[in-house]
Structures are given as C-alpha cells and as structure tokens.
Structure 1
Amino acid sequence: MQLHILSILMQMHVSARNQGMFKEPSKQAQKAWISMMRASRSLLADIDQQLKRQGLPPLEWYDILWELERAGADTLRPQDLEQRTLLAQYQMSRVLGRMEAAGLITLAKMEQDKRGRTVTITAEGSRVRATMWECYGTFLRTRFDGALEPAQLSSLSDLMAQLRPDDRP
C-alpha cells in the first residue's frame, strides 16, 4: 500500500512538472538557502556553547529577557514573547517555567483573564541579561565585525530584511 501511495505521489509530481505547475527554484536560490541555514545553525550552536562555557543560560533565555527589558513598564504575555522571539508556542511555557524557577522572571495571573499570565523581568533577570550580553556582544564583534566589513554587514542586513519583510527591529 505504501509503495502504491508513493507511486501515485511520484506520478503527481512528474505530472505537475510536465504541466508547468511546478517550477524548480534556481540553483542560486538553493545555494543561498543552504548557506544561510548552515551559517545560522553554526552560529547559534557556537554562541550557545560559549554561553554554556561561562555558566550562562541559553540564547533563547537572552531573547526573552531582552524583550522584557525593552518592554519597560509594559507587561507582556507569553504570546507577545512568542511573536517577538524565535520560540514556538509549545516551547514557551516550559522555558518560562525554567526561567521563573531560576528567579529571572515572574509569572502572574492576569486580573481580567484568570487563565492568562503576564511575564515580568526581575532584578536578577536584568543582571543575568547584562552578563549574557558581554558574552553575546563579544561573539558578535568577533564573528561579524571581525569577518565582514561595515558595508558587507549593511548589505547582509538589508538582504535578510528583504527575505522577511515583517522583520521587527
């Protein structure tokens, strides 16, 4: 049965291709995608490794702490943090629970929506974020400023923004 389904899928792909319904991405697009994904994976693994060596939390915690600091007096909900970070919904509550247990954030029930929660950074969370930034900033200076010229960094940033037009600063 599985071979039959696979055969049908292959026939559909060939048929779509023959009818001009499917157009292969250019070799340049494929190469750019692969390079971007490999660079991203490598850079994220490297910074997480450096943070870990210094006894600091993972980069995803930094992103959450940074967004909470940026919010200032405004309260954020977990779904706000999902939109502002790279964390998926299924990861967010687990990560927030660990961060609360570490004393970096507080989670409070909302007055008007007892099921909803707000997330607030603690003084310890601000301190840890600042310490993480020393490691993270050094990493960026070394891996980006040390590898690319300012004009190249601007071009890279502009190109990435074109790929994600809803990019938020």
Structure 2
Amino acid sequence: MQEPSAAIIKAWGRLIRAERTVVGRIEAELKSAGFPSLHWYDVLLELKRGPDGRLTPREIEAAVLFEQYNLSRLLDRMEAEGLVRRIPFPGDKRRQLVEITEAGRSLQERMWPVYGGAISRFFGEKLGEKEAGQLSGLLLKLLQAENT
C-alpha cells in the first residue's frame, strides 16, 4: 500500500474540519432559533419525500445524511413529540413503516428558512457556482469510490 501524499493528507484534514465546522454552525443556527437538531430535519425531509410520507426504517437509514446508529432512539423521540408515527407494514406484521405526521411536515417547513439560510451563509457565500459544481463533482468521485 502506498502512503498518502502530503497533499492528500492536507485535503483529507480540511474536508473533515470543514464538515465539522459548517455543520456545527448550522446546528447552532437551528438551536438559536428554537429548533431541534439537523438530524430531525433530515429524517422529516426524507419521510416527506417518501411515497405517501412513509419509509421503512432501513430506507430512512439509507437516505439520511448522518450516522444511523442512533436512528431508532431518534425515531422514538420524534414519535413522542408527535412528528412521526410507526405503522404496520402492509402484509408483514414483523416490519413497520415510519410515517410523517402533519406536525412533522409543519416543523420541517418551519425549519427550512433557518437551515437554508445557514447553508447559504456558511457554505454558498464562500463558493461561486462554478466552484460549487467542481466541489460537487469531486465529492461525487469519493462517494462513487465506496461502491468499488
């Protein structure tokens, strides 16, 4: 195995620090506006996009932008808040679907202006359209590498 070059190590470190910094700033914006974490928004958005506002827990795991090891506990908290509900999977009582409620839809819609504004402020204002396209292409190469 070849050792990574200094340029690769520097890029790796900056990628990790950039992700932590930007996500931390976005989380702080949501918190200061009185909203729950970005994870809640992410789950609600994916459910909203799902057929009839429903997905299996496994489908949620595949779609969200965060580590999934806490998803079950997160869904428990969201269900207790009335944002989602678990319903039986048609034809298979061993499985379940998670469904977004009207309260969940409302929360996701109220969170978006804060989240979208934070994306613009902490990310979009730092990059031009061309740079954003280039970065997106480079990150896609990394994502596609996981499938090889």
TM-score (norm 1): 0.80
1:5-154 equivalent positions in 2, closer than 5 A: 22-73=1-52, 75-154=54-133
Tell me if the contact between 2:88 and 2:96 (Cα under 8 Å) persists in the aligned partners.
yes
Aligned residue type for 1:91: N
Contact 2:22 2:123 in 1 (8 A): no
* Pairwise CA distance, 1:77: 0.5
Task: Go from structure 1 to structure 2 and tell me whether the alpha carbon gap of 1:66 and 1:146 turns closer, same or farther (over 3 Å shift).
Answer: same
Helix, strand or coil for the counterpart of 2:54?
Answer: coil
Higher-Rg structure is: 1
Rounded to whole Å, the distance in 2 between the matches of 1:75 and 1:137 is: 24
Residue type at the aligned position of 1:163: L
SS across alignment from 2:46: helix
> Structure 2: how far apart are the matches of 1:112 and 1:97?
23
Q: How many residues of Structure 1 are paired with residues of Structure 2 in the alignment?
A: 146
Deviation at 1:166, TM superposition (A): 7.6
Q: CA RMSD in A?
A: 1.7
Match of 1:164 in 2: 143
CA contact (8 A) 2:89 2:97 kept: yes
| 1:116 CA displacement | 1.4
Q: Work out which structure has the larger RCO, using CA pairs closer than 8 Å and 6 or more positions apart in sequence.
A: 2
State the distance in 2 between where 1:159 and 1:134 align: 28
More strand by share: 2
Separation (CA, whole Å) in 1 of partners of 2:25 and 2:68 = 25
Using the alignment, how far apart are the partners of 1:113 and 1:94 within structure 2?
23
TM-fit CA distance, 1:114 = 2.1
Whichever residue aligns with residue 39 of structure 1, its letter is A
In the superposition, the TM-score normalised over structure 2's length comes to: 0.91
Per-residue CA deviations over 1:60-101 (Å, capped at 9, x if unaligned) read 111111111111426310010000013444311100010111
Q: Distance in 1 between matches of 2:66 and 2:87?
A: 20
| Aligned-partner Cα distance in 1 for 2:110–2:78 | 16
